[in-house]
Homo-oligomer: A and B are copies of this chain.
């Protein structure tokens, strides 16, 4: 059979290819530039019925659902009309989370722990979601959703015990600090491996549906980690089996030193990923407590009504360093957060509540002082048990929970250690 193609020698003028490597808008020393980030004015994005066909939501993958406008007023069809109490509780949880982060970050510098990760600037996402979902719903968080535990009233001292790997650490010093786990609080054991929890959440939700339960799951993944195969698996299975799960993508613009464009963020939105699977998609201002709440309620209702999964991209910004091992001044403009067009979630909710006449500077100061005091009290409690190295679960526990039952290898090894 003849080959119908034109050999290279017959197309000498073919252009030379070149490899494209995407780069962020700015590096250290440059001015922050968010002009490539698609935004919408508050109130502009339409709100489809919860029963809408997924395809009818796909425009929302390119819009940005926002409720709080520049002046702090709640506007548009996504306004969740929350009562001031709910808002205040949300604000307090955010303030407390930030105070906790600050304290533990300092604790790392003081040598009390080996590692810490803050969620500064991203507090609204975990906290608003936790306040929509019930504690019986299972969340499958990354390391940046400590706000879920805090919103659900998990003891701060227990979080610190985990961070200190001390004798009261509920997970017995087995994991890196901040890798919390609490079945009671609907908080799945955090994995150090990115993305793995995402399809697990889908399986959990499938199981809930299989059992005729009414509980749903919520999963979290960072912009960077959407590139993992597990992300794809999660969305495929969620769509095919119509799993009652909320698939959250927390786009905080950075993955350690790598900008979100390296995961494809510059080419389209992360919310648009959902389109590939025929899933409904929302793109939401993640620093707008009201917008996060409204989008979560929409997705939650879909899931609970057996309509299956929703993909939500929360647009936010990682204000702090990636972790205590990181130094962002080496790879991004110093003042990006100050210039981030979606601002700070705490400041924005505070302004909104203040505008409603439900908050003022004195209450803010009191809330901040109260948060610091709560954290301090928890710190005293945890440090009384001990910080890293001063106190730890018994060495014997290292050999437990590998299997449900006994294993002669582990028994012998334990005996070798003499514990």
Contact = CB atoms under 8 A, between A and B. Distances in A.
A93 interface: yes
A236 to B, nearest CB: 5
Interface string A38-60: 00000000000000001100000
A19 B210 contact: yes
A183 interface: no
A97 to B, nearest CB: 9
Contacts of A93: 1
Interface string A187-215: 00000000000000000001011101111
A8 B230 contact: no
A135 B86 CA distance: 66
A398 interface: no
Nearest to A269: B278
A263 interface: yes
Contacts of A4: 86, 89-90, 130-132, 151
Interface stretch (A65-73, A162-170, A300-308): A300-308
A398 to B, nearest CB: 33
B206 A19 contact: yes
Contacts of A233: 227, 229
A264 B277 contact: yes
- The range of chain A's interface size is 35 or more
B275 A268 contact: yes
A302 to B, nearest CB: 12
Given A16-B214, A241-B21, A276-B272, A5 B264 contact: no
A362 interface: no
Nearest to A241: B20
Nearest to A213: B17
A13 B49 CA distance: 21
A405 interface: no
Interface of A: 1-8, 11, 14-22, 54-55, 86, 89-90, 92-93, 96, 130-137, 150-153, 206, 208-210, 212-216, 227-233, 236, 239-242, 244, 261-264, 267-268, 272-279, 304-306, 308
Given A15-B305, A21-B241, 4 more contacts: A20-B241, A229-B230, A239-B267, A268-B277
Closest A-B pairs by Cβ, 3 of them = A229-B229, A267-B278, A232-B232
